[in-house]
Structure 1
């Protein structure tokens, strides 16, 4: 049946696929070749596709027993963000297995899901089993940058590989969140991503009159930009209850016995504060956000520059972009223009569907008390690419996590590690879901 899932995850972590952005970094090819070999061992016929040499994507299809059913896409990325060894307790690419965890960059984001899916496929091959419907498997490059060597390139240039896919699963959902009810009873919550905020990264440019730093200047580009950023940072964005956010608040509140007044923004914030681990899954998605991240102005201390620039990370809830950008323009004021650095729309699937029901049933098969709820992801994934094909995209990467384990601190964090028991739990959940859905 192949390697135990934790050993396969460790092996993948040991392959350094660091993405530095802009096409730079370590190529995904070695990881892709490992994945392709395991897919071949499972009896599939994978293809490797590259926009440029080394930036590899692996796609395969496992035919289902009922070809009349729409296909399911399982997609995961092979690249990882950088890691500074000086900050870590272990070599970030050691894949060390100790203390019940697989340690290393990518162990949570997201070589864990890759190893879990491959483990399920090896089991199916050994037991002579398979899925009800076609399952398309895509292990892609460049998610940690712009997807231009990965998912977006595949969608634009090889859409036929995903023919018939009605839904997709991938990262950022279905891990254990611990909370306590109002009566003090423990509750296990699992949030499945049914939406994610859009990305509208902006470059702001303020222009003014260049001049000597010692002289009065009422047209100072730096001052214009600083005041604009101050107004933007201080702005309190209104609560927006998208379908996923509304359902999350209602269902988590009911599970915990915490009343949530959805007509009162202050009451919503107060209720979220009582949600335990689940607070982190919703606190950033009840509102849009616009956070300055990069500043650039001037070249000498005694010279007032004629231009100053900043970049702002703007995240957009479904259905709100027009109003959000109008408010950004108002806050920036005269003399400060904006342009998109990157622009990808929000993603939204149905909150209630047979797909969601199948995911919930699979989770409850391993954790009978699981309370499964929809949620909106705060960041972005390759769902933004695959949704362009009309595919409903869900964040469903199941993982059991132990008490005290801060899942959200792991992805892109120092000492990233994934619990071995969590990997084994995920294999069982995915086997159930992929077999039965």
Structure 2
């Protein structure tokens, strides 16, 4: 669910460096990783027709072959969701003072219907420089990288100084599913306790599709996210016969409330991540938008800069809490005055702002005692922004310079959501490291014909390997 803001980055930055080198013939370790990646993609883990537990079973088999035993592996699920299980594995480090690092990933994928796709979504197909299949981008390449890494590190002569933990869970893509990351944070924090976690959310973008000569123009490190919260606003009325209407009408009350919400702009906010993002990304541009980005980072009260940034939907969302109507219902008969009318308001809340604060703001904006505003979902806790820690960012910057010379690493706060929010709520900061890259169109993530560039996934795998070694060895 980290996927909303990436496409804007390609248009945002000028190309400042070369792409990763053309992929050489595969090394033996890459051949083995590709087979693991293929197995992951071809194991259906959607909520409707698949099973995360089945893939976790396969992962456990691989880990045990690599030498992990009962003391190193923990399986978990709940009786009411037997197909939504996950797995934790631990590779002990040699240091008694360094805290562990956690590698987090979700195994589940968004539902894909064969009749809608050009290719079978649950077959791993290499074609035209891309790997096709549901989960190729979100996020089974990273899942396979984490598992492969744990297997190779187990066999290596040199042992990590930090303990390395792996947690692969289900439920990230479906709000009604059993969320394994949430369950671990609330019930078995000891299993995942770490100084920090590496998760989805980072990565690079090209300025145009690779097949059109696209170049990698940015790499990002995901540092924080908004909180997604749904509210129901509702008007009620005694109703009556439609032949004798009155002005007091639940649908009219709802319509008036929605107009007020549509017109309301939450105040501009910056944190360390977004301030660094606008300053660094803006400095790489030579246009008016770039100057506005630098200006807002220096002075959040610069109204002219804010007005220009608000013309870009991604920048507008990064600068504040946003709320938008997404569902409507009302009335009960064609010939009756409505007794009830309601709407769902989907909000993406800036880190540091609570869901209750936003609920009260909506009440104040509506300013109608006949309307109620109720929080309807509790996907996760209110988001907390992790620190923009040089110990995390520094090694990532060095490796981006190695694998993507001249390409900047930019910290970003996602307007979407990941399972990192559950870790941050219990004191484990979560970061989405740079790795591979995608096209400006999003590579079909959550949509049709999802794909990942062959060059991107192999480059990303090597970068992530080096990054974890920099943190842990």
Normalising by the residue count of structure 1, what TM-score does the alignment of the two structures yield? 0.88
Contact 1:132–1:436, Cα closer than 8 Å, also in 2: no
Find the aligned partners of 1:40 and 1:425 in 2 and give their Cα distance.
27
Q: Which has the higher strand share?
A: 1
CA RMSD of aligned residues (A): 2.4
Find the aligned partners of 1:205 and 1:95 in 2 and give their Cα distance.
46
Q: Which structure 1 segments of 5+ residues have no match?
A: 180-185, 274-278
For residue 302 of structure 1, report the CA deviation from its aligned partner: 1.6
Aligned to 2:464: 430
Find the aligned partners of 2:433 and 2:341 in 1 and give their Cα distance.
42
Find the aligned partners of 1:4 and 1:281 in 2 and give their Cα distance.
39
Find the aligned partners of 1:2 and 1:420 in 2 and give their Cα distance.
12
2:444 equivalent among 394, 406, 410: 410
Contact 2:353–2:382, Cα closer than 8 Å, also in 1: no
For residue 50 of structure 1, report the CA deviation from its aligned partner: 0.8
Taking the TM superposition and a 5 Å limit, the aligned residue runs for 1:259-278 are 259=291, 260-262=294-296, 263-268=301-306, 270=308
Moved more, 52-61 or 141-150: 141-150
Q: Give 3-state SS (helix, strand or coil) of 1:385's partner.
A: helix
Taking the TM superposition and a 5 Å limit, the aligned residue runs for 1:346-361 are 346-361=383-398
Q: Give 3-state SS (helix, strand or coil) of 2:201's partner.
A: coil
Aligned to 1:111: 140
Q: Which structure 2 segments of 5+ residues have no match?
A: 1-28, 209-214
Taking the TM superposition and a 5 Å limit, the aligned residue runs for 1:224-303 are 224-257=253-286, 258-259=290-291, 260-262=294-296, 263-268=301-306, 270=308, 282-303=315-336
Q: Is 1:159 aligned to residue 189 of structure 2?
A: yes
1:399 equivalent among 433, 436, 447: 436
Taking the TM superposition and a 5 Å limit, the aligned residue runs for 1:89-238 are 89-125=118-154, 127-146=156-175, 148-163=178-193, 165-178=194-207, 188-238=217-267
Q: Deviation per CA, 1:284-304, whole angstroms, max 9, x where unpaired? A: 211211111122222322222
Contact 2:309–2:316, Cα closer than 8 Å, also in 1: no
Moved over 4 A (4+): 279-283
Normalising by the residue count of structure 2, what TM-score does the alignment of the two structures yield? 0.82
Aligned to 2:46: 18
Find the aligned partners of 2:434 and 2:242 in 1 and give their Cα distance.
55
Taking the TM superposition and a 5 Å limit, the aligned residue runs for 1:46-65 are 46-52=73-79, 53-65=82-94
Count of aligned positions: 418
Q: Is 1:382 aligned to residue 382 of structure 2?
A: no
Q: 1:337 to 1:59 in 2, by over 3 A?
A: same
